[in-house]
Chains A and B, each alone.
Chain A
Amino acid sequence: MLAAAAIAGAQDATATPTPTPTPTPTSTATPTPGAPANEPVLSSPPQLEKLVSAEVPPGTVFPAPEVAVVLAIDVSATGAVEDVRVEQGAGEPFDSAAAAAARRFTFTPGRLSSGEAVPVTITFRMRITAPVEAPAEAAAPPPRPVKLSGRLLERGTRKPLADAPVAARSEDGQETLVRGTTDAEGRFALEVPASRFVLVGVPAGHERLEARVEARPGEERDETFYVESAVGSNVSVVRGERVRREITKQVIPADEVAAVAGTQGDTLKAVLNLPGAARTAFGGELILRGSGPGDSAAFIEGLEVPIAYHFGALRSTFAPRFMESIEFIPGNFAPDYGRLTGGIVNVRVRDPARDALHGEADFNLYDAGVAVEAPLSSTWSGGAAFRRSWIDTLLPLVIPKDSNLSFSTAPRFYDYQFLATWKPEARDTVRFLFFGSQDRLVAVLDRPVGNDPSISGDFNARIAYHFLQSTWTRTFSPTFRQETWIGLGLQDLDTEIGPSLFFNLSTRRLDARSTWSWQARPWIEGRAGLDLQSAWYDIALDTPQVPKEGEAPAPISSQSARITASTSGTYVAPAAFAELRFTPRDGIDVLPSVRVDWNSSISRWSVDPRLMARWRVAPRTALKGAAGVYQQPPQPDESSSFSGNPDLLPKRTYQYSAGVEHQPLDGVQLELTGFYKDLSRNVIRNLAAAVDPSQPRYLNIGTGRIYGIESLVRARFGERFFGWIAYTYQRSFRTDRPGEPERRFSFDQPHILTVVGTWRPSIRWAFGARFRLVSGNPYTPISGAIYDANGDVWVPIRGATNSGRLAPFDALDVRVDRTWTYDRWRLSAYLDVQNVYNRANPEGWQYNYDYSQRARLTGLPILPILGLKGEW
């Protein structure tokens, strides 16, 4: 696979004109929103393995004690230097000497988060210092040298500062006595021919270390030095490109968005601020590019999880500690994924720390959590995290004492992650990831509530999942690679309302995926894989029929026709996919692909051909386009024999998108993408079944269309500022039955504007804000009501579906972070204030018993959330 990435930014290195050991430069790369929106994550920039000193002719006159030459070095995917260019010269003979030396450098290749080695261009500042004058004849025997060894660690995190130049200078700073470089663990050792000197360290991206040392001649000392990281210095920006398999794929590094206002540090919540994601009031659904909530899904390393957020949208069910990045693809995704017609959100998990024991303890209004990670051996590293909510402690404080509601188990959630990584050699990585989540509450409703007498008695809700995923990745050669994982899981959903309504589903899952890629020639690459979802389930239910999108829920008491079953079954959905990548000329990629799915619930095959193309028309501008077929099996209740119609077809969407990316200047990226989706075979309730039970409950008779434009401006200026402006214009319509008028989709939000920014003036403070302005959701007006005497409920008479629209939503969230850094740990506190100006945003209507009066149902008022986190 031909892939190219580039790093720009200052990197300091020193070199002397004499062949003495010289410090090795450190390359720090932080992929950021300042990078192009769809950039891969460069997790491991090239590391300099061999530094060659620049040699200038003897007798060269230096204009200053030190001159610097800034070089652009193209490092190939194998780590070899392909080309060197002088970006900022110091004149001859320094430029030629620096370039000649750099051509003899060798690197370990830069790697993406996927492990793939990619070509990278780095900017390298080479300092050439004037040769030290030969010391004068000693009048007396030199003192015995001081043997100083030690470690350079980042202050607060104790992260080893590898490849950092260190030197011992004379007390007056005029003379360098000896030089060295820290190793991978941040260690160094110097023999200093003086007993009083100044230790100088210049780790990239950190403050300069200057420590005065006084020792006895011949003394051996070992010390640890903590160096503070520096905001805005030595930060590289990825601005290269790699093969894109999706034309709109936002890769969000987890630590980047941890401080986004309004998300309480929850990375998975932050992605909902990207273009294409509709705002949801309650529920935390993924509404991507106008598709229904069930048409998109969240994945952890490719493994689909049943619920992405605790209790609607309070927190994500996978804690951010071990998140590396999040892939957000609102549509036209690659053939690796199927069974969906919307979009996907995939969490990439990082490996545990391999340098030292690290951890954190986190406490905030919602929950408290703890995490640890450490190397277990030279090849193993492990980590664990656990989080539990506080809601059950706080909720009783706000519920009135005379309330009709009492909790025997107040709402609470927990989630956990255990992971272990084994890297027996560079080309193999094996990872075990065990993670899970549970939301639970048990309540007692002394009397019926709302407008429905059926809703009373015990209320029990429990949603839990537990997965064990084992992944093996092997890079057979730079052009041949595979990744295979298998996942075992348990899912439980138990819901009980009152004595007769319940839904209990217990599922054992076996999922697997294997992807193989081979780059036969630089211009062609093939990728193929298998993707399996399977499940064994036990289900017992007695429920009314669940309303579908666009349908209004009817009071439970008014529904005499219940769905009852108690059964077991299996579900198998294997799939195979293949993709080719042609690069007919530099800058053009064409990716045809196909995916074939089988689904046992409807006993049908589906074949989804897809095509993506990308053309870099200028160094900073690319055009892109994609088209494809996306098919999705019906929901289980739609295709089951006891509640639905097993003869249904998968619903189908033709998706088209085209766009442009442009980088007007370093750190700023613009994206504009238009899309159109043609929906057919939507599963719709068969009204005839209400009259004649022998009729199928659902039919593939619905259609729809969705179109829109997504725009994104992302900016990152060092580590001081990052942010983005996302604006989406989209319309989404459905036609439920032939001959019926087209209606709005329930989350049709024409305008979605989100502005996010975080400013870090120093390492101690960060200030963030988020502003959202979003069209109100459609709603179905109610013109009257009929009294259902059997159920003692009023049944509304509704107008045209979704013909009304709520007032727009707008809210400003702000966040302040303060960090105290100590040598061995770091404490941070944040105040995240949602809805600062306390706007009463309408989220729906609340009606009286006979629907003759209504009042706005408003969203959260101003809500300050305070959090504390200690990291070590």
Chain B
Amino acid sequence: MIVRAVRLVPLLLAAAGCGKEFTPRSVVVDTRVLAIVAAPLEVGPSDSVTLTAWRVGPPGGAIASERWSFCPFSVGATAGYACAVPECEDGIPLPPPALATAYGPSNPLTASPGQLAQQCLALLSASGALPAGVPAQLPDRVEVLFRYRVTAAGSVAREAVQRIPLYLAGAPADPNVAPGIASVAIGAPTDVVWASGASTGLVPVLRSGETLDVEVLLAPGSAQTYVEGDRTLTEQLVVSFYTTAGRFDYDWANGPDAKVKLEGKDLAAGTAAATVWVVARDLRGGETVAGPIALSVVAP
């Protein structure tokens, strides 16, 4: 542990600007899943959850296929979210929503994680092959996993997961709620381009070599308190930014007043428009998307 703590120093130095420059994650050049919005964020054994995947991509693209699957027992991030019971993930199909081919939110999937998990245990019991370590009964709390796979013509396939806490005794009385995005302003604090969940119609102009201020105000009360062990903590609110043209100076900013700059650099010749998205998270499963936000681009 001691040595590991010391080894964080190089990471900090990398943070200071000593790392290799890749294409930033905030620049959308192919199909991406920006978020999977779930409601509710925590469920009881008989509750249903509705999931919507936010897919974005460069202008002109379209979704070719998508697939949802469910895994009640995942090995975790260390093993790349492999399913501990692949029989269930493969053998219990979810009702596929109609394919929305346009970039943006998918059509919602609604499923009951508790019932799906019980189906899985029944399937395993029937086959008589309960994998080592998999309990015969659902534990008091288990983090189930919804997996979303999407492909788009001419783009890479993407896979995303959303973890949903499932409580056998019922969802918490004070459930987690996704942070809200009150407004997005680009250019100046008064240039609000997004408010009340919709575009205001204002179209900022991003010129080559110039910089636009981007400010995201989260809704009051977005940062909830929660109990972890014997501590009461306040959620860490993180806002991530995406664009199809230009460069943000940072990919993330911390809420509730998140500020970055959008620089008019690396603009491809002939680019006339850009799209910006903003996603607010509480890093406990709560996600809210603002976008698409249209920008006019003056390329060199």
Interface residues in chain A, defined as those with a beta carbon under 8 Å from any beta carbon in chain B: 282-285, 293, 306-307, 311-312, 399-400, 403-405, 411, 439, 441, 443, 445, 447-451, 453-457, 459, 461, 463, 493, 495, 497-500, 503, 505, 542, 546-547, 551-555, 557-562, 564-566, 637, 686-695, 784-792, 795-798, 846, 848-850, 852-853, 855, 857
| CA gap between A326 and B1 in the complex, in Å | 25
Told that A449-B14, A450-B14 touch, could you supply 16 new A-B pairs with CB distance under 8 A? A312-B6, A448-B238, A459-B12, A560-B284, A564-B228, A564-B229, A686-B133, A693-B139, A784-B159, A786-B159, A787-B159, A787-B160, A789-B33, A795-B81, A797-B80, A798-B80
Cβ contact within 8 Å between B228 and A542: yes
| CA gap between A82 and B230 in the complex, in Å | 75
Residue B173 is within 8 A (CB to CB) of chain A in the complex? no
From the candidates B3, B143, B250, B284, name the one contacting A404 in the complex (CB within 8 A). B250
Q: Which residues of A contact B134 (CB under 8 A)?
A: 688, 691-692
From the candidates B133, B230, B252, name the one contacting A566 in the complex (CB within 8 A). B230
| CA gap between A455 and B2 in the complex, in Å | 18
| CA gap between A495 and B4 in the complex, in Å | 10
Q: Which residues of B contact A788 (CB under 8 A)?
A: 77, 81, 160-161, 163
Cβ contact within 8 Å between B76 and A690: yes
Tell me the minimal C-beta distance from B204 to chain A in angstroms.
22
Tell me the minimal C-beta distance from B19 to chain A in angstroms.
6
Cβ contact within 8 Å between A690 and B75: yes
From the candidates A443, A554, A849, A855, name the one contacting B12 in the complex (CB within 8 A). A443
CB contact under 8 A between A560 and B143, given known A283-B6, A688-B134? yes
Tell me the minimal C-beta distance from A82 to chain B in angstroms.
51
Residue B236 is within 8 A (CB to CB) of chain A in the complex? yes
Tell me the minimal C-beta distance from B236 to chain A in angstroms.
6
Q: Which residues of B contact A455 (CB under 8 A)?
A: 11, 15
Tell me the minimal C-beta distance from B99 to chain A in angstroms.
19
**Stretch binding the partner chain, chosen from B20-28, B188-196, B208-216, B291-299:** B20-28
CB contact under 8 A between A405 and B5, given known A453-B238, A554-B76, A791-B283? no
Residue B183 is within 8 A (CB to CB) of chain A in the complex? no
Residue picked from A405, A461, A787, A852, most chain B C-beta under 10 Å: A787
CB contact under 8 A between A792 and B20, given known A284-B3, A307-B3, A848-B25? no
* Interface set, chain B 210-251, CB cutoff 8 A to A: 228-231, 233-234, 236, 238, 240, 250-251
Residue picked from A456, A565, A690, most chain B C-beta under 10 Å: A690
The closest CB in chain A to the CB of B156 belongs to A852
- For this complex, 14 residue pairs linking A to B, each with C-beta atoms less than 8 Å apart, are A306-B2, A311-B9, A441-B12, A443-B12, A448-B238, A448-B254, A457-B254, A459-B8, A688-B132, A691-B133, A694-B139, A786-B80, A790-B162, A855-B22
Cβ contact within 8 Å between B233 and A499: yes
The closest CB in chain B to the CB of A545 belongs to B78
Cβ contact within 8 Å between A293 and B3: yes
Q: How many residues on the B side are at the interface (Cβ–Cβ under 8 A)?
A: 72
Cβ contact within 8 Å between A282 and B75: no
Tell me the minimal C-beta distance from A562 to chain B in angstroms.
7
Q: Which residues of A contact B287 (CB under 8 A)?
A: 789-790
Cβ contact within 8 Å between A554 and B78: yes
Tell me the minimal C-beta distance from A718 to chain B in angstroms.
40
Residue picked from B16, B17, B77, B160, most chain A C-beta under 10 Å: B77
Q: Which residues of A contact B274 (CB under 8 A)?
A: none
Tell me the minimal C-beta distance from B293 to chain A in angstroms.
19
Cβ contact within 8 Å between A792 and B1: no
Q: Which residues of B contact A557 (CB under 8 A)?
A: 283
| CA gap between A499 and B223 in the complex, in Å | 13
CB contact under 8 A between A849 and B133, given known A404-B17, A691-B75? no
Residue picked from B250, B279, B283, B284, most chain A C-beta under 10 Å: B283
Cβ contact within 8 Å between A687 and B133: yes
Binary A-proximity of B157-183 (CB < 8 A = 1, otherwise 0)? 011111101000000000000000000
Cβ contact within 8 Å between A790 and B236: no
Cβ contact within 8 Å between B283 and A790: yes
| CA gap between A500 and B236 in the complex, in Å | 9
Q: Which residues of B contact A439 (CB under 8 A)?
A: 6
Tell me the minimal C-beta distance from A644 to chain B in angstroms.
13
CB contact under 8 A between A849 and B22, given known A307-B2, A788-B81? yes
| CA gap between A200 and B287 in the complex, in Å | 90
Q: Which residues of A contact B139 (CB under 8 A)?
A: 692-694
Tell me the minimal C-beta distance from A56 to chain B in angstroms.
69
Residue B123 is within 8 A (CB to CB) of chain A in the complex? no
Tell me the minimal C-beta distance from A554 to chain B in angstroms.
4
CB contact under 8 A between A453 and B231, given known A411-B9, A445-B15, A789-B35? no
| CA gap between A691 and B76 in the complex, in Å | 9
The 10 closest A-B pairs by CB, nearest first: A688-B133, A564-B229, A849-B25, A848-B22, A558-B77, A554-B77, A449-B15, A787-B160, A797-B80, A789-B36
Residue B201 is within 8 A (CB to CB) of chain A in the complex? no
The closest CB in chain A to the CB of B15 belongs to A449
Q: Which residues of A contact B4 (CB under 8 A)?
A: 546
CB contact under 8 A between A786 and B78, given known A293-B3, A503-B5? no
| CA gap between A790 and B251 in the complex, in Å | 17
Residue B10 is within 8 A (CB to CB) of chain A in the complex? yes
Cβ contact within 8 Å between B135 and A456: no
CB contact under 8 A between A454 and B236, given known A447-B252, A786-B160, A790-B285? yes
Q: Which residues of A contact B80 (CB under 8 A)?
A: 785-786, 795-798
Cβ contact within 8 Å between B81 and A499: no
Cβ contact within 8 Å between B240 and A453: yes
| CA gap between A311 and B3 in the complex, in Å | 9
From the candidates B159, B236, B250, B279, name the one contacting A498 in the complex (CB within 8 A). B236
CB contact under 8 A between A787 and B158, given known A405-B16, A453-B281? yes
Q: Which residues of B contact A637 (CB under 8 A)?
A: 1
Q: Which residues of B contact A505 (CB under 8 A)?
A: 1
Q: Which residues of A contact B251 (CB under 8 A)?
A: 448, 849
Cβ contact within 8 Å between A495 and B5: yes
From the candidates A453, A552, A690, name the one contacting B283 in the complex (CB within 8 A). A453
Tell me the minimal C-beta distance from A451 to chain B in angstroms.
7
Tell me the minimal C-beta distance from A350 to chain B in angstroms.
28
Cβ contact within 8 Å between B161 and A787: yes
Q: Which residues of A contact B143 (CB under 8 A)?
A: 560-561
Residue B253 is within 8 A (CB to CB) of chain A in the complex? yes
CB contact under 8 A between A307 and B6, given known A688-B132, A787-B159, A790-B283? yes
Q: Which residues of B contact A399 (CB under 8 A)?
A: 16-17
Cβ contact within 8 Å between A454 and B5: no
| CA gap between A542 and B236 in the complex, in Å | 15
| CA gap between A453 and B59 in the complex, in Å | 27
| CA gap between A752 and B19 in the complex, in Å | 29
| CA gap between A20 and B264 in the complex, in Å | 97
The closest CB in chain A to the CB of B19 belongs to A846
Residue B74 is within 8 A (CB to CB) of chain A in the complex? yes
| CA gap between A461 and B10 in the complex, in Å | 13
| CA gap between A750 and B253 in the complex, in Å | 45
Cβ contact within 8 Å between A311 and B231: no
Q: Which residues of A contact B78 (CB under 8 A)?
A: 547, 551-554
Cβ contact within 8 Å between A405 and B15: yes
Cβ contact within 8 Å between A790 and B16: no
Residue B84 is within 8 A (CB to CB) of chain A in the complex? yes
Cβ contact within 8 Å between B284 and A790: yes
Cβ contact within 8 Å between A461 and B5: yes
Q: Which residues of B contact A790 (CB under 8 A)?
A: 162-163, 281, 283-285, 287
| CA gap between A503 and B35 in the complex, in Å | 31
| CA gap between A500 and B35 in the complex, in Å | 23
| CA gap between A785 and B32 in the complex, in Å | 12
The closest CB in chain B to the CB of A642 belongs to B229
CB contact under 8 A between A562 and B228, given known A691-B73, A789-B160? yes
| CA gap between A454 and B236 in the complex, in Å | 8
| CA gap between A858 and B135 in the complex, in Å | 45
The closest CB in chain B to the CB of A293 belongs to B3
Tell me the minimal C-beta distance from B136 to chain A in angstroms.
10
Q: Which residues of A contact B23 (CB under 8 A)?
A: 848, 853
